[in-house]
């Protein structure tokens, strides 16, 4: 990122990318892998940086072992305004000696922010920008006394209610996250309910399906899943479009209702949001079973091809979450990045189940460029 419009900042315990656009600053902050600080200390350090920027957190995603969930909650609550951070706290293993896998924060500066509350909790925030209304939602949880399929419907219903508070609808979704406990046991049911819900609210008939990540992770609500999302409602000079994966076919071809990637095009910037991507063939089959190195290599080549299709590279990455079936795969990923000459882009690394038992690796990634595409 070699321009003043997108600025990267490294602080003690975190890595941040700041996007300056149309009088508004957006901050993408990732806890730095390798820090041995406690979770509380990491949050304090991030909080100091955010206060210096006069930033408001609109989304916080945490990966930590269950034993640290209470500490994570307390650390966030202790921050100024932390009680209103829309957040999701999930089970996630560290890839090294660190106690915490990591966390990511998305924040904005220089703009009023509206809280979106459900059941007394702030689960989302929205703000008005020159070219769009932006909405962020995190940690939407269902009622507990139901099976996974029913809880999925409840999460989607609550997501719709949250978006409505900001004047947006489900057809304004550009990206979603679903963290499903024991995901491989009921991913088929989840996909069926999501597809039916998208049909009911008009997403499938709109010609646009949001990008998404679906990962196996228990959550601090102790429910079958929690959901989160980013939504955008354009004001004329902005468009959102699905991006194909040059090395894959649409995920809908094998029953998963999400797009491979989404691009937000504004007069002053372009942003790519790449869905959770794994070693899956053009026909929906897992490739290189039991071969972590080949799965990592293919997955990263798929992501690279998507970026290149939009004239971007890994140098444009603003954030990523990298998921490993087992911590032993992390050095394999590091070796790939070294051999491929990839930059050290901001990322969180966490050990979680992927949506198939034979998948060992997955990555989601966003990228930003200064120049718009209108």
The stretch 304-317 carries a mean pLDDT of: 96
Which of 60, 91, 111 delimits the end of a domain? 111
Tell me: do 98 and 12 sit in the same domain. Answer: yes
Domain-ending residue, one of 204, 236, 268: 236
Percent share of the chain, pLDDT over 70: 96
Question: What's the whole-number mean pLDDT along residues 42-51?
Answer: 92
Residues 302, 362 within the same domain: yes
pLDDT tens-place string over residues 139-174: 999 987 789 999 999 999 999 999 999 999 999 999
- Residue 273: inside a domain, yes or no? yes
Do both 57 and 139 map to the same domain? no
Q: Supply 72's token pair.
A: 């994570």
* Spatial CB neighbours of 279, under 8 Å, sequence gap ≥ 6: 286, 287, 288, 294, 295, 296, 298, 299, 359, 360, 361
Distances (CA, A) of 351 to 215, 317, 325, 326, 356: 10, 21, 6, 6, 14
What pLDDT is recorded for position 33? 57
Digit-coded pLDDT (tens) for 204-243: 988 999 999 999 999 999 999 999 999 999 988 889 999 9
The reply to whether 250 falls in a domain is: no
Query: Which tops the pLDDT comparison, 87 or 251?
Result: 87
Which letter does DSSP use for residue 303 in this model?
H
Rounded to an integer, what distance in angstroms lies between the CA atom of residue 318 and that of residue 369? 10
Q: What are phi and psi of 313, to 5 degrees?
A: -140, 180
- Where residue 271 sits, what CATH number does that domain have? 3.30.1330.40
- Token couple for 245: 């994966």
Q: Are residues 283 and 367 in the same domain?
A: yes
User: Is residue 182 situated within a structural domain?
Assistant: yes
* Phi/psi of residue 294, nearest 5 degrees: -70, -35
Q: For 264-282, what is the mean pLDDT?
A: 93
DSSP 124: E
Question: Would you say residue 246 lies in a domain?
Answer: no
Tell me the per-residue pLDDT of 336-374, one tens digit each, with 9 for 90 and over.
Answer: 999 999 999 999 999 999 999 999 999 999 999 976 665
By three-state DSSP, how is residue 22 classified?
coil
Q: Are residues 187 and 296 in the same domain?
A: no
Distance between CA 365 and CA 372 in Å, rounded?
19
Give yes or no: residues 84 and 194 share one domain: no
312: in domain = yes
pTM of the model: 0.95
Instruction: Count how many domains the chain has.
Output: 3
Question: According to the model, what pLDDT value does residue 374 have?
Answer: 52
Which of 111, 137, 161 is where one domain is finished?
Answer: 111
**Structure tokens belonging to residue 8:** 């990267």
Question: Is pLDDT larger for residue 255 or for residue 212?
Answer: 212
Q: Is residue 217 part of a domain?
A: yes
Query: Do residue 210 and residue 276 come from a single domain?
Result: no
Assess if residue 17 is contained within a domain.
Answer: yes
Position 2 scores a pLDDT of 35
C-alpha of 313 from chain center? 19
Q: Which residues span the domain enclosing 215? A: 115-236
Establish if 244 belongs to a structural domain: no
285, 343: one domain: yes
Please, which pLDDT band fits residue 21 given cuts at 50, 70 and 90?
A: confident
On whether both 84 and 123 belong to a single domain, the answer is: no
In this structure, the answer to whether residues 262 and 220 fall within a common structural domain is no
Q: Are residues 178 and 268 in the same domain?
A: no
The Cα 18–Cα 334 span in angstroms is: 25
Largest CA distance in the chain: 51
Query: Which residues face 233 on adjacent strands?
Result: 133
Q: Are 227 and 311 in a shared domain?
A: no
* Mean pLDDT computed over every residue of the chain: 92
């Amino acid at each position: 990122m070699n321009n003043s419009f997108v600025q990267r900042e490294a602080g003690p315990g975190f890595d941040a990318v700041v996007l300056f656009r149309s009088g508004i600053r957006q901050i993408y902050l990732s806890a730095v892998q390798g820090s041995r600080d406690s979770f509380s200390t990491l949050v304090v350090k991030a909080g100091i940086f955010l206060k210096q920027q006069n930033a408001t957190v609109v989304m916080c995603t945490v990966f930590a072992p269950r034993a640290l969930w209470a500490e994570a909650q307390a650390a966030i609550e202790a921050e100024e305004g932390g009680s209103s951070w829309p957040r999701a706290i999930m089970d996630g293993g560290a890839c090294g000696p660190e106690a915490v896998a990591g966390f990511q924060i998305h924040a904005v500066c220089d703009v009023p922010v509206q809280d979106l509350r459900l059941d007394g909790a702030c689960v989302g925030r929205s703000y008005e920008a020159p070219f769009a209304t932006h909405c962020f939602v995190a940690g939407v949880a269902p009622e507990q006394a139901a099976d996974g399929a029913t809880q999925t419907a409840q999460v989607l219903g609550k997501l719709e209610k949250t978006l409505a508070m900001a004047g947006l609808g489900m057809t304004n979704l550009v990206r979603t996250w679903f963290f499903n406990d024991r995901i491989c046991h009921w991913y088929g049911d989840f996909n069926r309910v999501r597809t039916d819900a998208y049909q009911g609210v008009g997403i499938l008939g709109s010609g646009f399906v949001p990008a998404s990540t679906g990962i196996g992770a228990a959550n601090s609500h102790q429910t079958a899943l929690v959901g989160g999302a980013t939504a955008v409602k354009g004001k004329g000079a902005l468009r959102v479009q699905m991006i194909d994966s040059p090395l894959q076919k649409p995920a809908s071809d094998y029953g998963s209702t999400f797009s491979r990637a989404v691009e937000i095009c504004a007069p002053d910037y372009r942003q790519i949001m790449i869905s959770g991507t794994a070693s899956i063939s053009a026909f929906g089959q897992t490739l290189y079973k039991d071969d972590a190195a080949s799965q990592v290599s293919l997955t990263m080549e798929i992501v690279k091809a998507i970026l290149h299709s939009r004239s971007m590279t890994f140098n444009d990455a603003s954030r990523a979450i990298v998921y490993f079936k087992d911590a032993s795969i992390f050095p394999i990923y590091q070796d790939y990045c070294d051999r491929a000459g990839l930059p050290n882009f901001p990322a969180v690394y966490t050990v979680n189940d992927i949506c198939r038992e034979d998948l060992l690796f997955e990555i989601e990634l966003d990228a930003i460029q200064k120049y718009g595409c209108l």
